[in-house]
């Protein structure tokens, strides 16, 4: 419930939901909850503070930090998967303008996918934020979340909700190369999910 509480401070400070080197909503949220003791408004007992803190801090990182104990790691994985599942819902349902700054249907439909991002996707790699150079790279990077699910239940839900088809088919790709790449990305993503679920 609290993993994205830092988004409120992020939008206030930067007028954006984009994490960068100066503003990371997970760190902001953790500080709000624990540095200023807001967590006590939600739970009196402090025995779970470390678990909650580690889960929040790690929910949006490329990789979970080393050194977590078994319970911290379990909850970090659960929150990461839940966050990714919700990201698929957002990309399938929200207006493009509400997803990211300067993002529009037109920008995406006329966009291109960089070779690096396409190749990373086709090699089952999570997309590194700093490698994205186009809006279509941004779009593909969210589909690539499928490669970072810890538990099959999240992928089962994505399959059940048909999110891969919905997200990819939301757009009428004008660029021929982009259209071909997105067709291949769709096939690859669906096959990957099926293979993981077997």
Q: Could you report the per-residue pLDDT of 19-74, keeping only the tens digit for each? A: 666 677 788 888 888 888 889 999 999 999 999 999 998 988 889 999 999 999 99
The last residue of a domain, from among 93, 115, 141? 93
The predicted pLDDT at position 16 comes to: 63
The last residue of a domain, from among 93, 113, 141? 93
Give DSSP secondary structure letters for 121-169.
HHTTPPPPGGG--SHHHHHHHHHGGGGG-SSHHHHHHHHHHTHHHHHHH
Same domain, 12 and 51: yes
**Cβ atoms within 10 A of the Cβ of 80, count?**
23
- What is the average pLDDT score of the chain? 91
The model carries a pTM of 0.86
The last residue of a domain, from among 62, 93, 124? 93
Which residues fall within 8 angstroms of residue 61, CB to CB, at 6 or more apart? Answer: 26
Same domain, 129 and 191: yes
Give how far the C-alpha of residue 120 lies from the chain's centroid of Cα atoms, to the nearest Å. 16
User: What range does the domain containing 124 cover?
Assistant: 96-198
The number of domains in the chain is 2
Same domain, 78 and 119: no
Same domain, 158 and 139: yes
Residue 87, pLDDT > 70, answer yes
CA neighbours closer than 13 Å in the CB half-sphere of residue 169:
6
């Amino acid at each position: 419930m609290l993993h994205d509480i830092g988004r409120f401070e992020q939008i206030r400070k930067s007028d954006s939901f984009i994490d960068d080197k100066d503003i990371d909503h997970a760190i902001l949220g953790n500080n709000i909850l624990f540095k200023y003791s807001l967590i006590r408004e939600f739970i009196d007992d402090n025995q779970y503070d470390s678990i909650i803190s580690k889960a929040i801090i790690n929910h949006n990182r490329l990789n979970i930090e080393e050194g977590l104990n078994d319970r911290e790691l379990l909850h970090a994985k659960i929150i990461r998967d839940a966050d990714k599942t919700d990201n698929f819902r957002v990309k399938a349902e929200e207006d493009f303008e509400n997803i990211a700054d300067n993002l529009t249907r037109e920008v995406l439909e006329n966009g291109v996918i960089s070779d690096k991002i396409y190749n990373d996707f086709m090699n089952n790699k999570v997309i590194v934020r700093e490698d994205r150079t186009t809006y279509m790279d941004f779009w593909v990077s969210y589909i690539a979340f499928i490669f970072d699910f810890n538990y099959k239940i999240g992928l089962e839900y994505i399959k059940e909700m048909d999110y891969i088809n919905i997200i990819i088919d939301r757009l009428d790709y004008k660029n021929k190369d982009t259209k071909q790449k997105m067709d291949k990305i769709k096939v690859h993503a669906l096959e990957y999910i099926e293979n993981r679920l077997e």
